[in-house]
Amino acid sequence: MRWIVLIVDDHPLVGEAFELAIRAAYPHIEVGLVGSAAEAEAYARTNGARIKLVLLDLMLPDATGFSALIRLQQLLPDRPIAIVSARVDSHAVAMARTFGVAAYLSKSSPVSELVNSVGALLRGETLFPIDAKPPEAVETFRKQVASLSAAQLRVLTALADGRLNKQIAADMNLTEGTVKQHLSTIFRKLGVNNRSQAILAIRPFLNDMDKA
């Protein structure tokens, strides 16, 4: 079986440059390149068994903050995901680290350095530029989110985007009754009482990395 490194980046020049460099450095590895969260999810569903590593830019046109990361973690629970971002500061790194990423890489680094980082990640190493302690509230929330099913997570992120129950039902091909059941479970797992509290709980973690 030939392993895949999946690059998720909506900037064609950046993604293509990284793709060519990885192909040249690791000819035994197949490289996938997609430009949106939706494309990444579809790719993961089709090729999940062969994906060895994901290189994810959080600033995607159809994702908010950590939503793309959370969804890919649901689809690829045992695969390392590395954030590749233009923003590198202690808070951003701490947030990403709390959500269980394998690395936090800077887009400003030379391509050769990023390619070497891919090799380290394929060997099972973790790479972080700043030793930052994750906020306790973030860690608690991450554990709560991890307890949600993939469907519940999609309902929650749709809720945070301001979508109504009937819109969520149509988007996910569900009945409104099923959406309400999912919401009831989500409220219980997050320790909230209603949709407003759920939105307040998740939005900081979806919006915090909008400039990543």
pLDDT digits (tens, 9 = 90+) for 73-118: 888 988 999 999 988 877 778 778 877 899 999 998 999 999 999 9
Residues 187, 199: contact at Cβ < 8 Å?
Answer: no
Q: Where are the domains of the chain?
A: 4-122, 136-207
Q: What's the pLDDT at 133?
A: 61
Residues 4-122, CATH architecture: 3-Layer(aba) Sandwich (3.40)
Per-residue pLDDT tens digits for 107-147:
989 999 999 999 999 999 999 986 656 566 667 777 887 78
Give CA–CA dist 108/125, Å, rounded.
Answer: 21
Per-residue pLDDT tens digits for 34-45:
999 999 999 999
**Domain 136-207 belongs to what topology?**
Arc Repressor Mutant, subunit A (1.10.10)
